[in-house]
Every structure is written in structure tokens, then in C-alpha cells.
Chains A and B, each alone.
Chain A
Amino acid sequence: MNKLRIVLAAQLLVFLVWGGWLLSSRDADSPEFYLATEPVDPRDLISGTYVALNYAISRPEPHGCRFGRQYGKIFVKLEDKGKTADIAGGPVPLYEATDCARAPGHGALWAEAALQYSGRGDTLTYGIEKFFLNENDPRKDARSGEVVARVKLGHGRKLMLLDLVRKL
């Protein structure tokens, strides 16, 4: 078999496995919940227009979430503390960060995040900071407080962003 065909087969296999993993992660048997978010609208070089999302859980307040400059992977405990948002289907709870740890705890909803330095100081990123949409989608112009993010926990405790929902 031609060596270049082996390269092609390996490349296709990577995309097949990765695509399968993402699909199964999105369909994982875990609850969906909502997060408060503040959108802005830049453009990605390789994926097109998206809404960049800043989350309150990216700068968690709890004392356990202060790691100094120990950048890297951490786990954040997300809980319903009573805040809600009104959307078309009725009021939904908004989850908040209540604790952080280097290893996930048991029982509660622990999401993986990366603590890193950004231009505005130390920030937690979850891999749900971009919502890609069509240029004509009105949500592209959404402002702070107008939308909430519908998310769920996928494989490896990674959050998956499912939708950006307008508040009433």
C-alpha cells in the first residue's frame, strides 16, 4: 500500500474517532443546565463567526478556587443555588461555581477547567467559550444579560455547549 494512502487512512481515522467521541459526549447521559453568560461577537479564522462567551464561573468567588499562579487543570463544583432565568419554556435554574479542587469530588457536578492567565488576569476556561452561528443569526448581537448558555457534562467531565438561549 502506498505510504501516502497510509497517511490518509490515519488522518481519516483521527477525524472519525474524534467525531465519534464528540457525538457520544454530546449525547452523554447527563443533565442539561444553564449558565449566566456575557457575549461579544468576534470571528474565528478557521471556523467563522461566533459569539465569545464570558461566564461568571470563569472567575469563581469561593475561597477554594484561589490557586495563585498554579496554572493548569482544576475541577469546579457547579450547583443550583437558587438563581433563575426566564426563557421561552419557563424559568430555569442558573448553576454557579461553589468549590474548586485539583481532583474531582464525588456526588456533585464537577466540571474540568483550565486555570490560565489572560489579558484580564487569571481565568478558568471550560472549552465552552465560543458559540458558532450563522452571520444572520440575531443572537450574534446579543448583549450581556440577554442570553443564557445551555450546557451539559460530556466525557471526561468536560462541559459541552449545546445552545445559546434568549431570556424573556
Chain B
Amino acid sequence: MSYYKRLRNDLAAAAAEGLISPEQADRVWQRAYGGRLFANFRAAHWIGAAAGFFVALGLILVVASNWDKIGDISKMGAFLLLFAGAAEAAVRLDDKPGAAIPLETLWFFMPVLGIGLYAQIFNLSGDPVKPYLAWAVLSAPLALLSRRPLAGYLCSILLFAVLFWGTLGRGNMLALNSLNAGGYLPFLRWGLALLVLGAAVLLYPGRRLGLPLGAAVVWLFLMLVSDTAIKLRSESLLLLAGMSLSALWLTWSDTPDDDKAALPLKTWIGAVYLTTFFWHHKPGSYSGYGASDTVYGAALAWLLLAGALLSALFRPQRLLPRGEAEDVAAKALLAASVLCAFLLFGAGELSSKILAVTANLLLAAFGAANILSGAKNASERHINLGVAVIALTALTRFIDIFGGLLVSGLGFIFTGLAFAALAYFVNKGRKALIESVKK
């Protein structure tokens, strides 16, 4: 259940019990609901935004296809007039969202329309990333100064898209793979990529770190995995960097009360869950294409480790509900999830299995801590989360260990019945816990 649904239910219950008046409940609800990120966005506004988007795209196609009969200067003049008209109308109708939002969307797309038009008139070609970067640079002031978040979202998404496409691609000014960046100003390319990343985070509206930080974390991990100046090829350093990034995202994202914190938490659970499969790991089975770690990549991995441990220790924890015991448990779990990557350093098969067992224990401890804390704090959500994590871990291990025995029809029937019984008892236990909490 989302925070707002829960709040509305709680306020309704409080009003029904006479703790507050229905008017007070309504005012509190309006205040909380009106403060969320898309508070001013109604269905009509979204449709208006979509209208602006489609008009802009349609104009781009019309310009591209049917522009032959008009002189070049007339085309450019018409474009500048349209640009000025759309933007001026957006400014003048600023207090009428139904008109201002589509106009502002059109304004946002006008620079790329102009770049496309000029490229068509003058047969311009070259770096495929450059027009999109130029578009972002031209539209960034609009994103910063507009009182609506739409241009900010669009500009931030544009920059992230260019960052991923450019740095992972080939033959463009942002390409960071070794073939492109080898001898040609690699620092300049990295500087530009980091500038794009910084701008994408900065322009994301509301100064919220959750999603942009997540995109940055995924990008950095892809850079470590790809053939770049910071590539890592040893599985131990990759695991260390990946777990550290996951912990950093979790600790530096939004507050735990915010729904956005759910994604980094799920990512952390997913990362630990994937580590449980190291039970099957054979040392040296991951060749890394025969290459070795780079110095920059290794240094970055250690830096990320230091950052993750310091953040786990000194930042507010996001794993469990707040509380003295919960804080200690959560910090220990988070630090352990990062540090257990050390079991892969110079690992034999035994230490890989110890790593997998440790990851299973971490998930079990996380699930148990959520159930206990949920029971203590009357939090149904945490009880459900704890039960889900433990059940998922148990089921995975069951299939992992006994899956090879499923060779007959009877084996499948027995397994299905066992799962049904497990589901019944897990659900019964979960409900009993929630009921006991409510009493």
C-alpha cells in the first residue's frame, strides 16, 4: 500500500474514532497530497503534455518530409517565428496550465527541431551525440527557470539517455570504450561524460537523489563492466564494486518514508540474492575475456568500498524501520553485505560456498529483523517484506538443491503440493503475526 493510501485510511480512521474532525482530516490530507511531486498534474495536464509532445514530433516529420518547395531562408525564418511564438505564448499563458504545459513542451522540443532543420538544409553530419547535447544545453535554462517540473524531467531524461547511448556506443564524442578513447583526450571525454551526468542529476526536479542516483550507479557499474579506462575483469573486484554501489545508492537515496526508497532497497536485496548463487561458482570460470583490471578501475572499486562502509556507518540506515536495535542491525547487515565480497579474493571453491551461505544468512537475518521490527512497530508492510524475503530465499534454495531430482511426474506433483502447503502455512503465519500486532 502506498504512503498516500495508508495516510488517507489512517486519517479516515482517526476521524471515525473522533480523534480529529472530518474537516481536519480532509485538510491534513489535502496538505500532504498537495505537496507531492506531481501535485499540480491532473489527467488533463498529462494529456496536454502528450499533445505538445505529439505536435512537436509531427512538426519534425512534416519539416523533414515536405519542405522542398520553400527557400532555405524562408524555412529558417518560419522556424524562428514558430519558436518565438510558441515560447512567448508559453510565457504569457504561464498561469493557465492547460495551455502552458503543451506550449512549454513544444518550446522544449523547438531547439532539436531547429537543429534537425538546419542539418537538413545544409546537409550537416558528424558526431551523432552532438545535436542531442546541443539540445540539452539550449534547453537546460528553461528546465532550471520553469516553475513546472516537466522541462526538468525531460532535460534530465534526455541527458541520461545521451550519457548511456554515447558512453556505451562507438564513434561519438562521449564514447568511452578503449577503441575510441585510447589515444584521444580520454580525460576530456571522461570530463564531458561526468559533466553530462552531473547536469542530469542537477536538473532532475525536486532535488531528489533516489532515481538519478540509481541511474548514475547503473551507469558507473556498466562503465566498470565495459571495455573502458576503468574496466574491471576480476570477479572479486566487480562484486566488491557492485555491492558497494548498491549500498551507496541505498544509503544516499530518499528518506525511508518515501516510496522511492523501495527501488534501491529492492536492488540491494536483489544484489545479495544474486550472491547466493555463488554456491555454484567455480574459481576461474569467469574469464573476463582474458583481460585484466585497470588501475583506475581497481582504485575506484576501493574508493567505492570506503564510501559504502562510511555511509553504512554514518548515514541513516534504510534497511529496517528506525529504532536503536534496528539501526545497529541494519548497519551491520549493510556492511556485511559489502565485506563478504572479500571471500572471493584469491578464492577457492570453498570460500565461494562460504560467500553463498553468508548471503543466504544475510537475507534470512534481514527477513527476520523486518518481521521482528514490524511486529514491534505494528508495521504490516515490514512483516510482509520479511516473510517474502525469507520465503523467496527458502524456495530458491529448495529448487537449487532438489531441482535436479525433479525427473518424474510424481516428483513434480510432490513439489507442487509441498509449495502449496508452504504457501498456506506462510500466509497463515503472516496473518497471525499481523493480527497479533493489531491487538
Contacts and interface: CB of A to CB of B under 8 A. Distances in A.
Nearest to A118: B171
B142 A131 contact: no
Given A12-B84, A49-B64, A72-B184, A22 B122 contact: yes
Interface string B114-148: 11111111111111000100000010011001100
A47 B119 contact: yes
A132 B88 contact: no
Interface residue range, chain A: 35 or more
Contacts of A128: 123, 125
Nearest to A8: B87
A68 B125 CA distance: 24
B122 A5 contact: no
B148 to A, nearest CB: 11
A7 B180 contact: no
Nearest to B109: A46
A23 B116 contact: no
Given A71-B180, A118-B171, A161 B131 contact: no
A69 to B, nearest CB: 4
A48 interface: yes
B183 A8 contact: no
B64 A48 contact: yes
Contact of A116 (B60, B76, B119, B171): B171
Interface string B65-92: 1101000110010011001100110110
Nearest to B110: A11
Given A46-B131, A47-B119, A70-B183, A127 B83 contact: no
A18 B118 contact: yes
Interface string A102-144: 0000000000001011110001010111111011000000000
A71 B118 contact: no
Contacts of B126: 114, 125, 127, 129
B208 interface: no
Contacts of A119: 170-171
Contacts of B183: 68-71
B185 interface: yes
A71 B172 CA distance: 11
B112 interface: yes
B60 A46 contact: yes
A19 interface: yes
B124 A130 contact: yes
A129 B123 CA distance: 8
A161 B170 contact: no
B180 A48 contact: no
Given A11-B138, A69-B183, A117-B171, A160 B72 contact: no
B72 A23 contact: yes
B72 A71 contact: no
Interface in A19-68: 19, 22-23, 26, 44, 46-50, 68
Given A68-B183, A118-B170, A8 B84 contact: yes
**Lowest 6 CB-CB distances: which A-B pairs, in order?**
A48-B64, A71-B184, A46-B116, A130-B125, A161-B123, A47-B116
20 contacts: A3-B145, A4-B142, A5-B88, A7-B142, A11-B87, A11-B138, A12-B84, A15-B76, A15-B79, A16-B80, A46-B131, A48-B116, A48-B120, A69-B182, A69-B183, A71-B180, A71-B183, A125-B125, A128-B123, A129-B126
Given A11-B111, A12-B80, A15-B79, 13 more contacts: A2-B91, A4-B87, A5-B91, A23-B73, A46-B116, A46-B119, A47-B117, A69-B184, A71-B184, A72-B185, A118-B170, A129-B126, A160-B122
